[in-house]
């Protein structure tokens, strides 16, 4: 199943905070259950847990996609209409009123409110004890995921572990990022010890042990806790549950959803819950910088390689270029790309990922906002590149680091040469960073990479160019301010104890 059957149900008289402003949203349940009478059956517990998953949909539903919005504030791409505020952030006009700033904060606290309510009441439900334990593991993973999304963009925020209560939570100050990290790892360790490695087909899409380990590996990597990142990533490998999908292009097609590489995704299903990925990803808003970053098939850059021909710039390139991007003159959906196939041809490049089309086969496009492709939040290639990065930072470019990065490069449909042997730690670091950029292009990971690597102040102070080298968007990044996002202005107004991040 692409999503849980009861995803659309109400969350039954559970007070949920829309944000940390602690204004409670009181839901009026259709069956008139109350908080006192609701927690009395296994079915109700299952429905409440589904409600804890539901905020995952928010950032990826309809016209919105954090995958692309986060790409649009990197050198990879730009937001065409600036509806979310991504272009404002990229241009150096980050401010507390932007929709992207507010929605990420709001959705995370909505999920935290739901999981806190669930965890506070699940012990009262008469149900199978093994199932109760598993449900608790799922909820604790989700709470860790929502807090992870907060602290990586805003820094320290109020730490709330109880059900929403405006009287006790409405004026809480910020906790430190480190304090919240410890709660995240506590939740994840508990989930890792409880959650199963896999589920039957009827429960596909729920958090597994591998999902919790993948989040721990990512969080530890982002915070330079190299040993913990390496240990968690290796534990995912040791589950023997995942592997690289042979076809890089096919990894993101509807017919291959939840393949061997997918550790966790967000479930969509036509016609109930759909998105607009087909049009969003096919917009011509990819910058020349990303195209130029792809190596030649000999493993050298376009500046170094004798294989590069400016008159045929897409020949002899890392195969992921043509498996990731639509380019003028290439084949897409069974026809030669002229630019008319793009929903907006502003740069001459667009994403193929998360569209319905292959290159040589003609397919009928879905109607607007009727895509059901699942966004992938964690996949096995990230685990391998986490091992490579963490191992290099701990011990230099050992054989373990080389083996991990080369496994990604040696995917059958990619088949790039191994990273050059004998690199220094700094040289391997640069090779790893480039590998992450091209492997995860269009997946929303590069923004956090350039922030945690502290390279944003360089790469985000360069103009974004189209295929002809024309400036499409000028960028600006203030290192004294922009490594953190501002807290939403509404939160500051409602809570006098919240301190805004510096510079806002």
pLDDT of 148 > 80? The answer is: yes
Q: How far apart are CA 396 and CA 267, in angstroms?
A: 39
428 vs 61, more confident: 428
Q: How many CB atoms lie within 10 A of CB 384?
A: 24
pLDDT tens for 317-370 read: 999 999 999 998 889 999 999 887 777 778 999 999 999 899 999 998 888 888
Indicate whether 250 pLDDT > 90: yes
- What HEC string does 400-432 produce? HHHHHHHHHHCCCCCCCCCCCCCCCHHHHHHHH
Residue 301 has a CB neighbour count (10 Å cut-off) of 13
Question: Where does residue 503 fall: left (phi above 0), alpha (psi -120 to 50 degrees), or beta otherwise?
Answer: left
Sign of torsion, CA 35 37 41 47? negative
What is the mean pLDDT of the segment spanning 122-135? 97
CA atoms within 13 A on the CB side of 197: 8
Are the beta carbons of 314 and 342 closer than 8 angstroms? Answer: no
Q: Are 288 and 349 in contact (CB under 8 A)?
A: yes
Give 153-193 as a DSSP string.
Answer: HH-S-----SS--HHHHTT--PPPHHHHHHHHHHHHHHHHH
Contact present, 161 and 116 (Cβ < 8 Å): yes
pLDDT at residue 265 greater than cutoff 90: yes
Domain chopping of the chain, boundaries:
16-29+37-208+486-494, 277-351
Q: Which residues have CB under 8 Å from 496's CB, separation 6+? A: 171
Could you give the residue ranges of the DSSP H alpha helices within 223-284?
Answer: 226-238, 277-281
* CATH architecture group of domain 16-29+37-208+486-494: Alpha Horseshoe (1.25)
Residues 445-496 pLDDT 10s: 999 999 999 999 999 999 999 999 999 999 999 999 999 999 999 999 999 9
């Amino acid at each position: 199943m692409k999503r849980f059957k009861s995803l659309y149900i109400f969350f039954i008289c559970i007070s949920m905070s829309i944000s940390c402003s602690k204004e409670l949203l009181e839901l009026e349940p259709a069956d008139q259950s109350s908080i006192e009478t609701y927690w009395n059956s296994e079915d109700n517990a299952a429905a409440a847990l589904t409600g804890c998953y539901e905020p995952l949909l928010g950032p990826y539903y309809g016209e919105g996609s954090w995958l692309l919005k986060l790409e649009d504030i990197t050198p990879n791409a730009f937001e065409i209409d600036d509806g979310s505020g991504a272009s404002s952030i990229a241009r150096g006009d980050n401010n507390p009123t932007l929709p992207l700033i507010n929605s990420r904060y709001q959705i995370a606290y909505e999920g935290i409110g739901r999981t806190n309510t669930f965890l506070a009441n699940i012990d009262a439900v008469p149900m199978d004890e093994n199932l109760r334990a598993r449900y608790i593991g799922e909820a604790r993973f989700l709470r860790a995921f929502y807090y992870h999304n907060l602290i990586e963009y805003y820094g320290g925020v109020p730490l709330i572990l109880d059900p929403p209560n405006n009287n006790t939570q409405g004026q809480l100050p910020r906790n430190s990022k480190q304090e919240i990290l410890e709660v995240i790892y506590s939740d994840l360790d508990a989930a890792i010890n409880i959650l199963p490695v896999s589920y039957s087909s009827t429960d596909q899409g729920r958090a597994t042990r591998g999902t919790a380990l993948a989040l721990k590996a990512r969080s530890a990597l982002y915070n330079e806790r190299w040993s913990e990142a390496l240990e968690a990533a290796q534990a995912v490998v040791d589950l023997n549950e995942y592997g690289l999908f042979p076809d890089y292009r096919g990894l993101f097609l509807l017919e291959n959803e939840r393949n061997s590489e997918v550790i966790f995704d967000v479930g969509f299903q036509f016609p109930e819950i759909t998105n607009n990925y087909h049009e969003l990803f096919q917009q011509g808003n990819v910058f020349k910088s990303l195209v130029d970053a792809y190596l030649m098939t000999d493993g050298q850059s376009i500046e170094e390689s004798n294989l590069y021909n400016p008159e045929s710039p897409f020949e002899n390139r890392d195969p992921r270029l043509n498996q990731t991007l639509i380019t003028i003159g290439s084949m897409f959906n069974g026809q030669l790309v002229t630019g008319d196939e793009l929903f907006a041809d502003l740069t001459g490049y667009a994403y193929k990922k998360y569209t319905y089309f292959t290159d040589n086969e003609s397919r009928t496009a879905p109607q607007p906002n009727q895509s059901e492709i699942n966004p992938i939040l964690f996949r096995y290639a990230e685990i391998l590149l986490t091992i490579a990065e963490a191992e290099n930072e701990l011990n230099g470019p050992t054989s373990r680091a080389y083996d991990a990065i080369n496994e990604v490069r040696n995917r059958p449909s990619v088949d790039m040469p191994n990273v050059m042997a004998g690199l220094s730690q700094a040289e391997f670091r640069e090779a790893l960073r480039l590998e992450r950029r091209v492997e995860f292009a269009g997946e929303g990971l590069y923004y956090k990479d350039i922030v945690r690597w502290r390279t944003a102040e360089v790469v985000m102070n360069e103009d974004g160019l189209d295929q002809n080298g024309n400036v499409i968007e000028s960028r600006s990044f203030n290192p004294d301010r922009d490594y953190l996002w501002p807290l939403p202005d509404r939160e500051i107004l409602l809570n006098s104890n919240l301190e805004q991040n510096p510079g806002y």
